[in-house]
Structure 1
Amino acid sequence: MSNPKTTSKTLTTDELVVLMNFYHTKDTWDKAGAANISIAYDDQYRDFEVITAEESVRKGRISKLQAEITAWAEGQINAFMYQNKKVNAFVLTFADDVLGIELGFESVDIAATESAATNP
């Protein structure tokens, strides 16, 4: 009997929630195209780079799957915004049944910033 290799990972509760949401949502997407996924958020331009295992996507175009993944990721960013957390790093990868995540926040109180902007 061989010893299985075990590793310990430390996650924040925010990372865990995102990974759980992703894991359950990915089952609704195209199985072949969702076999490998990479999502990277660009805070400067507030957009996403989404790479999938799809082979039939024409250059310069976005597939239905990429649009669905982008909408899901934007929902995650918005959920943090509603919790007064500004995301400045969001990278999620899924390949070979292994999930990876990088999630970072600015230490700015969004509610106070928005209040100051609307009440000069």
Structure 2
Amino acid sequence: MYIQLCPAGSEGASYALLTTYGNVAGAVSSALAGVLAGIWDVTNSAMAAHQYSGLLNLTILTSILGPMPLLILWLLPKSSEEARKLRDSKKKSKLGGFMFLLVLLLSLMYTTWDCLSAMFE
């Protein structure tokens, strides 16, 4: 469905942007996993001492966070025909483009900060 939204001739650039976003998302999720693991005690020593409350809390939190993207599914085109109409309408969203780049840049800044802070601790 994403490719149907791409203007003719810019499929490669769109794929590169989508791949970049996916790679940054992987780095951010790894950094955030470290933050979430620090909220409750889920260390090996806690598990060896049979203290599973932190693990239970973390499991509940991640189980709630997992399906959250389903809440924004309504933003996607309902059908291939609707996606083609959207592409052909030539409408542009400056706010959407700004938000897309803002999230990308903030994600890059956060992962860079997380990496550097881990190196110099």
Q: Would the TM-score normalized by the shorter structure come out above 0.5?
A: no
Flag the structure with higher helix content. Answer: 2
Report which of the two has the higher share of strand: 1
- TM-score normalized by the length of structure 1: 0.33
**Comparing both chains, which one has the higher relative contact order based on Cα–Cα distances under 8 Å and sequence gaps of 6 or more?**
2
Structure number with larger C-alpha Rg: 2
